[in-house]
Structure 1
Amino acid sequence: MIVPPLALAQFIASYAATTMTVAVSVIAADLGTTVLGVQTAITLFTLTMASLMVPGSKLTDVLGRKRCFLLGLVVYGAGALLASAAHGTVTLILGYSLLQGIGSALMIPPIYILVTVTSPDVETRARRFGVVSGAGALGAAAGPLLGGLVTTWLGWRASFLLQVLVVGLIALLALRLTEPPGRPARTRFDVVGAVLSAAGLFCVVVGILRMGSSMFWIFAGIGAGILCVFAAHLHSRERAGREPLVSSALFRDRATRFGLITQHVQWLVLQGSFFVIAVFLQQIRGYDAIETGLMLTPATVGILAASAAAGRMARRHSQRRLIRGGFVVAIAGLVLVLLLVRADSGVASAVPGLFLLGAGVGIMLTASVNLVQSGSPDSAQGDISGVSRSVSNLGSSVGTALAGSVLAGVVRPGGTSFALALATLTLAAVVGLVAALLLPKPR
């Protein structure tokens, strides 16, 4: 069984990215630091994971997919164990931000590579991607709720110990994985390319997280400049006949380009809308972490329902049509939330919109991953998997930063700033729909 350990690994990585948000105040008080110090650790986790995803993916061609996956689990588990024993911000950052971030960058790309190269047909691949994508979305959505429950009942350290136990279970299951035959032989690892890509993405994500301030332009400009140098480096290595970190040919394919854009927007809309709705519920309605997580359940149900039907939908419809349909459904869900949810409205008012939002995203997540991964041969899976995961992580960061900057920049009574933030995310979803409409017909 190849899917269970891969889906569990995607779940726990997504869980780690969102569960900390509900325990910030508790951790800060226990460690004798400030909320800003704990938020810095959360930010560094995102930075580490996003900036190292491409080099981590390329290592699968050097070390092997299964070995890289197991190495990522070991590093991730060690980081979670260290974070659980933290008595200061430095130890928390070392365990959670750095080691768990590095572990995620090592174990996530092999998940998508192994699903792609071991699936005999598009329907099977779509079904497996549906399980993996659903597990990732479930981890992101359930992180605040589970984190709130564990923190309230057992303490914040138990949340990290729970991750250690799950990672141990995944490692036991992963030992039975069989490395697919025909792993391509590679030349020496492109160290310069890895440094340039990591530094460029690091600065871009820092800029995104500083959106709304002058530092955004400084870091985004530096990051863009480094990425331009990275692109020139790739062309230089290819002209010299040496193996680049990522083949530039990937970006010349129209389906891949627009497929990556749709992936970016999907995660932007998902994480951004979850952030806005969670803050609205806590600040306007006074909900606690557990109540907030329960209110987001319809979206989680929608994601899981769409992911479970991924195989059947792939058999009946093209991936391009599913991506387009998913954006339409998600946009309809956002519009319903804007129209129906108010500070004094009942709990049921949010259910239709949140369910459609989750269902739309669930349809898109599986279809776009399938489209992008399937568009490249097995020999290029290390390249496209890293780029795909980096783009998705950037989308999550942009969504939260964009929504946060709108909320911070517009202070009006009656929750108007929340409506404006959701309207901004709806506009972003429309941009994603345009990109989906530009996807070429399948070859």
Structure 2
Amino acid sequence: MNVMINDISKDLDTTVQGVQVAITIFLLVMAALMIPGGKLTDRYGRKRCLMAGLIVYGIGALISAAAPGLGILILGNSILEGIGTALLIPPVYILATVLFTDVASRAKAFGAIMALGGIGAAAGPLIGGLISSALSWRWAFVFQALVIVVIILLTRRIEDPLPADPTRSFDTGGAILSAVGLVCLVMGILAADDNVWVMAGLLLAGALMLLWFFLWIRAKERSGVEPLLSTSLFRDVTSNLGLVTQHVQWLVLLGTSFVVSAYLQVVRGYDAIHTGAIFTAATVGLLVTSLCAERFAKRYAQRTLIMAGFAGTLGGIVVLLVLASGSESVWAMLPGLLLIGLGIGAMLTPSVNVVQSSFPEDEQSEISGLSRSVSNLGSALGTAIAGTVIVADPKVGAYMGAMIVLAVIGLGGLVAAAFLPRKTELR
């Protein structure tokens, strides 16, 4: 989506801001439904949820390909693909945690997941750019649907190591409260450039809904009824710090991706192919460090890796600002993007490892859903915050300002990582 911003906005007679809203809603739907998605794996099984998510995602891709306007694109890409992703992502992390039982092996598993995600991130913009330039952006969504068909065929070979329990209750009220609260928070950020009072109202509503959600699940626990999330998940200091680092990592990564993509296309006038090619630097960096996750986990503490990752990412943002502002060549962005990719890749796996390893097997569905929700909320906020700064004044200075904001947030992630324990204990 990022590399096709101009093509989509022109074809659907909308604006860059409109496409940014579609991207943000997609990320927001994932964040809002990831917790319920994780909980449903206990009731229906990990494989069944994975298959259902793939099917819903594929349908959304086909609807997006045929979209006559922004509204239908949001239905297909933002809503259905967001729901599909929320169903299919938690099973992946639950299976990896259950099947691998020590820090190094889990690091290898999560590193493989992140590395393959890096390959997808590298191939996605390039393939999307090529398809968009040669045919149409619509065929990029058709390609997505074809990939989904292949994954569904391969998924038939997966065996679920944990039996499904259809008798498990599902906290519908908690799911609604958590989803509405998260939606209000991100929509409040999006409203910042339009109306400060609307922004304040949405942020307040989001905070109140999440408070209500916490009181709701606590009351459920006290009455002996299983809630959507156990309040004990929020009492583990190590896990909480790990969740903060995850949130900030994805916020900075997606925020940077949106800022640089919009800058290249709107200010520099680059097409989808060139934009995707330039982003390969960040993806290569992410891929390299993700593949080294197991080796790093054996040599260094998880805390050290996360702090080093934040330091590298912040250094990349500084290099990006200095070189890009002082050079007319867009290729000056490559060193900064490479550093950002190396830094993000170095800390994604240990952050997930810290969080997942803080809880026993019977709580993996809950912590996996919470972990993915926090990460995807970071993705949504990253796009929303960066887009809000840019849209307020779409000039070169606005892009620099957005990157500085992301750097300050990244610094907060580094501070949180410094409070992590030096050694991670498995549960």
TM-score by length of 2: 0.92
Which residue of the other structure, out of 46, 63, 67, is the alignment partner of 1:86?
67
Superimposed CA distance per residue, residues 3-31 of structure 1 (whole angstroms, 9 cap, x where no aligned partner): xxxxxxxxxxxxxx6465354224405xx
Query: In the comparison of the two structures, how many residue pairs are matched?
Result: 422
Residue 417 of structure 1: aligned partner = 398
Q: Does 1:113 align with 2:94?
A: yes
**Alignment of structure 1 residues 346-365 onto 2, 5 Å:** 346-365=329-348
Q: Does 1:393 align with 2:387?
A: no
Superimposed CA distance per residue, residues 312-332 of structure 1 (whole angstroms, 9 cap, x where no aligned partner): 111111211110111111111
Which residue of the other structure, out of 85, 91, 113, is the alignment partner of 1:104?
85
Kindly provide the amino acid, as one letter, of the partner of residue 387 in structure 2.
Answer: G
Residue 308 of structure 1: aligned partner = 291
Residue 435 of structure 1: aligned partner = 416
* CA distance, structure 2, for counterparts of residue 229 and residue 177 of structure 1: 39
Q: Does 1:152 align with 2:133?
A: yes
* CA distance, structure 2, for counterparts of residue 350 and residue 24 of structure 1: 25
**Paired residue secondary structure (2:268):** coil
Give me the identity figure in percent.
49
Distance of aligned partners of 1:22 and 1:306 in 2 relative to their CA distance in 1, 3 Å threshold: farther
Superimposed CA distance per residue, residues 23-81 of structure 1 (whole angstroms, 9 cap, x where no aligned partner): 4224405xxx6766655544432332221111111101110111111111111112222
**Alignment of structure 1 residues 11-410 onto 2, 5 Å:** 18=2, 21-29=5-13, 40-140=21-121, 142-181=123-162, 187-212=168-193, 213-214=195-196, 215-342=198-325, 344-409=327-392
Kindly provide the amino acid, as one letter, of the partner of residue 253 in structure 1.
Answer: D
Distance of aligned partners of 1:419 and 1:156 in 2 relative to their CA distance in 1, 3 Å threshold: closer
* CA distance, structure 2, for counterparts of residue 410 and residue 19 of structure 1: 21
Q: CA deviation at 1:182?
A: 6.0
* CA distance, structure 1, for counterparts of residue 43 and residue 164 of structure 2: 9
Instruction: Report if the CA contact (8 A) 1:145-1:290 is conserved.
Output: yes
Distance of aligned partners of 1:120 and 1:263 in 2 relative to their CA distance in 1, 3 Å threshold: same
Instruction: Identify the range of structure 1 (269-278 vs 299-308) with the bigger mean alpha-carbon deviation.
Output: 269-278
Kindly provide the amino acid, as one letter, of the partner of residue 359 in structure 1.
Answer: L
| Structure 1 unpaired stretches of 5+ | 1-16
* CA distance, structure 1, for counterparts of residue 418 and residue 12 of structure 2: 46
TM-score by length of 1: 0.89
Distance of aligned partners of 1:399 and 1:41 in 2 relative to their CA distance in 1, 3 Å threshold: closer
Q: CA deviation at 1:161?
A: 1.3
Kindly provide the amino acid, as one letter, of the partner of residue 241 in structure 1.
Answer: G
* CA distance, structure 2, for counterparts of residue 269 and residue 190 of structure 1: 32
**Paired residue secondary structure (2:325):** coil
* CA distance, structure 1, for counterparts of residue 364 and residue 218 of structure 2: 19
Q: CA deviation at 1:162?
A: 0.8
Distance of aligned partners of 1:87 and 1:400 in 2 relative to their CA distance in 1, 3 Å threshold: closer
Distance of aligned partners of 1:289 and 1:83 in 2 relative to their CA distance in 1, 3 Å threshold: closer
**Paired residue secondary structure (2:26):** helix
Instruction: Report if the CA contact (8 A) 2:181-2:209 is conserved.
Output: yes
**Paired residue secondary structure (1:334):** helix
* CA distance, structure 2, for counterparts of residue 211 and residue 136 of structure 1: 32
Instruction: Identify the range of structure 1 (189-198 vs 126-135) with the bigger mean alpha-carbon deviation.
Output: 126-135
| Structure 2 unpaired stretches of 5+ | none
* CA distance, structure 2, for counterparts of residue 426 and residue 45 of structure 1: 24
Q: CA deviation at 1:216?
A: 1.9
* CA distance, structure 2, for counterparts of residue 259 and residue 358 of structure 1: 19
* CA distance, structure 2, for counterparts of residue 405 and residue 89 of structure 1: 19
* CA distance, structure 2, for counterparts of residue 422 and residue 91 of structure 1: 31
* CA distance, structure 2, for counterparts of residue 132 and residue 377 of structure 1: 21
Residue 4 of structure 1: aligned partner = none
Instruction: Report if the CA contact (8 A) 1:285-1:343 is conserved.
Output: no
